[in-house]
Amino acid sequence: MKSLEQQLSRLDLNLLVSLSVLLKEKNVSRAAEVLYLSQPAMSRTLKRLRDVFDDPLFYRESAGLQPTEKALTLQEPLSEILLSVSKLIDSTQFSPESCDQTFRISLPPLMSRQLSVPLIRELMHNAPNASLVEYPAAWDPTSLLKDRAVDFSIHIEKPANDQEFPSELIGSTYPVFYGMSEHPLANNKTTTLEDCLQYQFVDLNLDLRSVSEIHNPIDSYLESKGQKRDIVFKSGQLNTLVDAMQDSDKMLISTHTLRYVDDFEHRLTPIFDLKSDQTMNINVYLIEHKRTLNSAAHQWLKQLILDTLRNKAFA
């Protein structure tokens, strides 16, 4: 049995357009003018239509062409078909104002507040009917993209396969060791990495799906130096970690812009940073799957993300 596609493969969509115009004009010459065809070409089209539907479709009277009963029964479904085709074509012509799409994005929880807040504000301003769902980044960002769980992933590693997973640099950051304002090292101008490691740390769960014990780039850095943090508390919520640090000498490692998010500037004090160590200059990428490269809606959102975050979120 032939599939629907096989049955329709021999049908020229232009024939349906011609039939619709003939039903409206009821005149071969006028239909030819509407479609910018010659009258002989239009007559040949009518002959093909009669063959396809095995019906005369029209008969001539003094007032012009009159549709047969079969042609009249075709009129309503034909209009619906052409309207559906029109909507299909229009769907590639994207308008932010009329977009009601739900976009999904994953990003590192440590960067969530500084990235997602300005982004959702811009999205609501430019596309008020669209929505955004945020997911925590996976240790391997390509897995979420490949499984269609997300449309974009913001990640600190560029995929090896840039053909399937194109990426763009958003900006860069570096790790900063934070303590509360009353931390013993807060006013020490000669603090070293070793000084910081004498204290216990709170840490953010970056990817619960990963089998790796090392989730934070700083731990790989410390491991290469034969050093390690003493982590006493992990949470998936940044605010919870900061609250847990209150009235203690616990420390947190995050991006250099964290203290400028919300009220953290009044609560957190940068104690030590790795800005001078080029190996810890962390690039942040926007990654997508190749399937969205020709999607007008996704490419619009991609540009919005870049315009909103590039050289701003990490300034």
CATH assignment of the domain containing 163: 3.40.190.10
Assessment of whether the complete model's pTM goes beyond 0.75: no
In this structure, the answer to whether residues 12 and 103 fall within a common structural domain is: no
* 71 part of a folded domain: yes
User: Taking residues 112-121, what's their average pLDDT?
Assistant: 84
Mean pLDDT of the chain: 86
CA distance 23 to 31: 9
* pLDDT bracket for residue 80 (50, 70, 90): confident
Domain count for the chain:
3
In this structure, the answer to whether residues 274 and 188 fall within a common structural domain is: yes
Question: Which CATH number belongs to the domain containing residue 35 in this structure?
Answer: 1.10.10.10
* 243 part of a folded domain: yes
* 314 part of a folded domain: no
What are the tens digits of pLDDT across the range 247-278?
A: 999 999 988 888 777 678 788 999 999 999 98
In this structure, the answer to whether residues 168 and 286 fall within a common structural domain is: yes
* pLDDT bracket for residue 306 (50, 70, 90): very high
Structural domain containing residue 262: 175-280
